[in-house]
Amino acid sequence: MSSASDAWIFFYIPLFLSLLFSISTAVHPISQNGTCYDTCGTIPVKFPFGTGFGCGHPEFARYVRCNSGALEFSTGTGIYTISSIDYPSNTLIVEDPLMSTCSSMQNSGSFSLDRASPFTLTGDNIFVLLGCSTTSPVFDPNEDLCDRGSVTRVCRGLYSCKGVSGIGLPQNAPIATCCVYESPIQLAGYTLDLPKLQCSSYTSVYSFGGNEGDPMKWKFGISLQYNGSYYSNICKDCETSGGLCGFAGMGRIPPPVALDKGMPGAGQGGQKFKSTSVMTEDAFKSVWTRIANGNS
């Protein structure tokens, strides 16, 4: 073999090893501490939500997590329980433990929704302020913050509840201290500041359930719409074949990774999914390694 050929061989070997090293370093395994589950308590957990680190989409991980079998939603004003998720409509219902209902009324905290979060209020919510001062800004005639069209029906119904004694009012009290609140900001963010509004409590009705005349049967909670554009075909295929979709890598928005189904896990409930690895999108031209049901 000629010396020229030998030179080319020695040139290509380092080049090949360098390329192989570049691809291998682009593989970021999720930490083994990031075990994922397909349920939290009784609620099915699908992408973009997750039960732990590396599960679901990182933009949602800061707001939704599974804690001791309860799926929780966090905002700047508190931690709320998620009672249900409807994946086809991209909506979920959260419950504020301090929010008043017909059966139990109490002084409430405030509620806020981060403007930058992937969540918005749905149009189903009817926010009602209870036990408000007569000097409350919601009664300012120049602001028109109360929905006068539904205030009589909704407020009279709530004030007919025995639970109203929890905020210091007699049953069937005058509804002058009640307001069906229309916030001036409905879409990108929301803040219900009770001290500023001078009200004792609040509630949210997202459905009357066909029982407008019986507040004991109203559905109390806050209905939220989440941004469904994060759901990709890769994650759809992964979940269809029995896997879960999570994220690996150190970038701001790392690439999705499929998680293989293992044995039923303890603690969170449901099926336990082990972490696997995936090459970054740039490293291998969007060719993903998907593992579902333990099969590569």
CB neighbour burial string for 213-222, b if at least 16 within 10 angstroms, e if fewer: eebeebbbbb
Token pair for residue 62? 């800061």
Which amino acid, one-letter code, is at 190? Y
Cα 291 from Cα 260, distance rounded (Å)? 5
What is the structure's pLDDT at 28?
34
The dihedrals phi and psi of 246, each to the nearest 5 degrees, come to -130, -165
What is the structure's pLDDT at 291?
26
**195's torsion region: left (phi>0), alpha (psi -120 to 50) or beta?**
alpha
> Average pLDDT, stretch 17-42?
53
Which amino acid, one-letter code, is at 219? K
Nearest to 243 by CA among 258, 224, 233: 258
- pLDDT tens digits, 200-248: 999 999 999 999 999 999 999 999 999 988 777 778 788 788 777 777 6
What is the structure's pLDDT at 248?
62
> Average pLDDT, stretch 44-71?
90
Nearest to 288 by CA among 252, 242, 238, 244: 238
> Average pLDDT, stretch 41-65?
89
pLDDT greater at residue 74 or residue 289: 74
What is the structure's pLDDT at 184?
53
- pLDDT tens digits, 62-116: 899 999 999 999 998 999 999 999 999 999 999 999 999 999 999 998 998 888 8
What is the structure's pLDDT at 141?
86
pLDDT at 143 over 60: yes
Q: Give me the DSSP letters along 128-173.
A: EEEEE-TT-GGG-TTT--B-HHHHHHHHHHHHTSGGGGGGT--TT-
**Domain boundaries in the chain?**
34-90+227-249, 105-111+123-217
Are 255 and 235 in contact by the 8 Å Cβ rule? The answer is: no
* pLDDT interval class at 5 (50, 70, 90): very low
E runs forming strands in the chain:
36-37, 39-40, 43-44, 64-67, 70-75, 78-86, 91-95, 111-113, 119-121, 126-132, 179-181, 190-192, 199-207, 219-220, 222-226, 244-247, 256-264, 271-274
- pLDDT tens digits, 246-278: 776 444 444 445 554 433 333 344 454 444 433
β-strands 271-274, 256-264: how paired?
Answer: antiparallel
Are 158 and 149 in contact by the 8 Å Cβ rule? The answer is: no
Cα 195 from Cα 40, distance rounded (Å)? 34
Report the range of poorest mean pLDDT among 40-44, 132-136, 280-284. Answer: 280-284
pLDDT greater at residue 53 or residue 171: 171
- pLDDT tens digits, 114-134: 888 999 999 899 999 999 999
